Chains A and B, each alone.
Chain A
Amino acid sequence: MAKAIFILVSLVTLVSAIGVVALPKVLHAALALVFALIGVGALYALLGAGYLAVVQVMIYVGAISVLIILAIMVSQRSMEDSQLQAFVPHRAVTAVVAGLLFVVLAGVSIGAAWPVVETAVPPDTIARLGEAFAGRYLLPFEVASVVLLVSLVGAVYVAREP
């Protein structure tokens, strides 16, 4: 049962991921990205990481994808068909870079040991996560929030009229 769901979800995710790079219209690619990200979220849920799955949907689909789509619409003449032209003049370079990246990633994922934890996921993962953030990993957590704050202030500064 879980295996069948896994195969179905991975299939949807992979097809959407191919759609992201292969679809000619940028907005179609962005919508495919939404589905790919939801699929990744579903995979997290299958692995027993419910919190991560929900946060994935909330942050990546609810916020970042919307931002990407809005950026596409604002930066191009959105009422016209926008054909993706970016990689066309540099096909050879793109192919070499992408091929090298693929070799590196494939090497890493084949070489990795992928350890499996035998025990079941504890039910109070969220509480433990919260304790870890407020205790052991307090400093990285706060540093990350400061980075976000700085980028927020920077964005307001850039967008403000002089």
Chain B
Amino acid sequence: MGFLDALPLTVMDWLRGLLGQGLPAWGVELVVGLIKVVLILVVAILPVIVLTWLERKVLARGQDRFGPNLAGPYGLVVAFADAIKILTKEDIIPQAADRQVFRFAPALVLIPTLLVFTVVPMGRGMIAADLNVGILFAVAIGSLAVIAIIAATWSSGNKYSLLSMFRSVAQLVSYELPMAFSVLTVVLVSGGLSTVRIVEAQVIPFALVMPIAAVTYFLASLAEANRSPFDLLLGESEIVAGHNLEYSGMRFAMFYIGEYAHIFVIGALTTTLFLGGYQGPILPGYMWFLIKTMAVVYVVLWIRCTWPRMRIDQLLDFSWKLLVPLNLANLMLVALVFKLAGTGLLGSLLSLVVNVGLLVAVGTFLVRRARSSTSRRTRALVLGEV
């Protein structure tokens, strides 16, 4: 472990020693805990400022525009302009709203997203809490997001919000299953639920060992974050922006921050589970973590400007009829491969071959069925015919 790699830990140890001179043991733990909380808040909120700018830039490039370029160099100050605009907006609570829940819901939106960061290893030894159930904790906390959306939509007292909520619940419940299966495949191979252990187990990043699980996890977490192409609960053209429709001002900003923090969570967890986390040559661990996370985040933004939104029936079919069976088959095959060939290089190589083989087999089957099908919808979905 190099000097730069261990620098944050060294600073933390020094601080701990400094505090230990004046405070009892529990006091030191309390202060260190508070510092960790503040660090997590910074790590979660700081990217939001960058992401609001980055999304505008990437979307603009995707649509052959310039994007923000007037406020500061490369339009970098646009996020601060956003913040000032939002802070000066009037806070409106509709007449039909359930006032207490309506006020409470925006706070609830951000909590699950922030909690996930406690189990993300951001560098060697840089994790707020290395739980022995780490990744399960992340999945469980991720399932809390739906409660916040329910509270926000129901309390708005608006029928469009309610429509959005039914879509969102159907979506979140459906995509939890393929997500759990892909995580299960990772846990099976790494032999532990702790996120640090999962990262350490990835001599070869798991994305290269089991691409099916990696892609499924990525897609399912897009669905969980309500990102494009699964953002139909925000369908502007049909339900006028859905669950945050009645919110304004700072309360709306909480949804906004929550959404972008969630994108960063997708990047961080995908990196931890499938891209080898903080592992990498030369550069210190936290730099690798940041680079990999931002690469995933870029893909998320890229998808938004290239893929059209899915319809609710397509969305549910995609999860239940394709992702769930595919991942179930993948889980069994990977388990078999690693049982027979061991978790070494041979096992990893065989697992990759099996994964690609499965993907090719399913793809050929789907295309064949679509070719012989007379249904316009199936042909459009699989073959891309209009």
Contacts and interface: CB of A to CB of B under 8 A. Distances in A.
Interface string B136-157: 1101110110110011001001
A54 B195 CA distance: 15
Contacts of B143: 57-58, 61-63
Given A61-B144, A61-B147, A73-B154, A50 B131 contact: yes
Contacts of A62: 140, 143-144, 146, 176
Interface of chain B: mostly helix, strand, loop or mixed = helix
B173 A31 contact: no
Contacts of A125: 132
A78 B136 contact: no
A96 interface: no
B29 interface: yes
Interface residues of A, number: 25
B150 A66 contact: yes
Interface string A1-18: 100000000000000000
A65 B176 CA distance: 15
Given A57-B141, A62-B146, A31 B151 contact: yes
B320 to A, nearest CB: 12
A30 to B, nearest CB: 9
Interface in A55-92: 55, 57-58, 61-63, 65-66, 69-70, 73, 78-79
Contacts, number: 66
Contacts of A63: 143, 173
A66 B141 contact: no
Interface of A: 1, 25, 27-28, 31, 34, 50-51, 54-55, 57-58, 61-63, 65-66, 69-70, 73, 78-79, 123, 125-126
Interface of B: 26, 29-30, 96, 98, 100-101, 131-133, 136-137, 139-141, 143-144, 146-147, 150-151, 154, 157, 159, 162, 169, 173, 176, 193
15 contacts: A1-B26, A27-B98, A50-B133, A54-B133, A55-B136, A57-B141, A58-B136, A62-B144, A63-B143, A69-B147, A78-B154, A78-B162, A79-B157, A79-B159, A125-B132
